[in-house]
Amino acid sequence: MGRSDIRRTRIRTSFLTISMVVAAWAGLAAAEAEYIVDTGPGANTGGLSLTRNQYLAGQFTLDSAHEINALEGWMIYPTLVGSLPVYAVLYGDDEGVPDLSAELHAQLFLVPASGIPFTSDWHGVEGLALDVGAGTYWLAFEVPTEDFGSGAMPPTPTQNLDLYAVDGGSGYIANVTSRLGIRVLPEPGVAAMLG
């Protein structure tokens, strides 16, 4: 093997090593995402129904401005086939209930059939670039009125949010016992800069 062949081999090895380190770092950063709101997961089954006749929301407060990348809820669509369309809606606060006149973002996503065994998971919208200031907000999950599916949001072990709200058809009513699982993720890298 000539001198130039050895040099090319070293360059290739160095490039592969650098590539592997960068890929590992990126994977570690993604796996350790710091949520600005994270109630933790709930149970696998049970909880409040999520249907076209019942919407669910959780309140959270931000101490500083953030660019939100993802809005997620711990939920299940306990069936064998199909999917449940759900809107993730970010509202402002109106004295302890979601302010329907201050809808900041709404986006449809699908909760796939859980199959057997019925198990819950995090579902929602990602890839957002939603700037929000410090303040109190509500993350709501709303099934479109034309859909007849029925999902659920199984409860978290403890109450991790200040307030929850349920809309059974006559507007949101606040309560403190719903224990919904929600997560809000800031834009990648923002949490590190803010922390």
pLDDT given for residue 182 in this prediction: 96
Listed as own residue / partner, the contacts of 156-160 with beta carbons closer than 8 Å and 24 or more positions apart are 156/39, 156/40, 156/41, 156/42, 156/74, 156/180, 156/181, 157/40, 157/42, 157/43, 160/39, 160/40
**In the predicted model, is pLDDT for residue 162 greater than 70?**
yes
- 37 and 156 Cβ atoms separated by less than 8 Å: no
pLDDT given for residue 115 in this prediction: 85
Report, as an integer, the average pLDDT of 168-181: 93
Percent of the chain with pLDDT over 70: 79
Predicted confidence band of residue 188 (pLDDT cuts 50, 70, 90): low
Two tokens, residue 120: 């819950």
Q: Classify 99 as helix, strand or coil.
A: strand
Mean pLDDT of the chain: 84
pLDDT given for residue 24 in this prediction: 40
- Per the model's pLDDT, the better-predicted residue between 134 and 25 turns out to be 134
Report, as an integer, the average pLDDT of 126-137: 96
pLDDT given for residue 46 in this prediction: 86
Percent of the chain with pLDDT over 90: 67
Kindly report which listed range (29-38, 82-91, 118-127) carries the lowest average pLDDT score.
29-38
The number of angstroms, rounded, from the C-alpha of 53 to the middle of its chain's C-alpha atoms is 22
Q: List, in sequence order, every residue forming a beta bridge with 44; answer none if it has no partner.
A: none
- Per the model's pLDDT, the better-predicted residue between 144 and 21 turns out to be 144
For 185, residues 6+ apart whose C-beta sits below 8 A from its C-beta are 33, 35, 36, 68, 69, 70, 72, 126
pLDDT digits (tens, 9 = 90+) for 5-59: 554 444 444 433 333 333 443 443 444 678 999 999 999 888 999 999 999 999 9
Closest listed residue to residue 44, CA positions, set 115, 106, 101 = 115
Residue 194 φ/ψ, nearest 5 degrees: -80, -30
Element (H, E) at 64: none
For 107, residues 6+ apart whose C-beta sits below 8 A from its C-beta are 71, 87, 88, 125, 128
Report, as an integer, the average pLDDT of 153-178: 93
In terms of CATH architecture, what is 37-194? Answer: Sandwich (2.60)
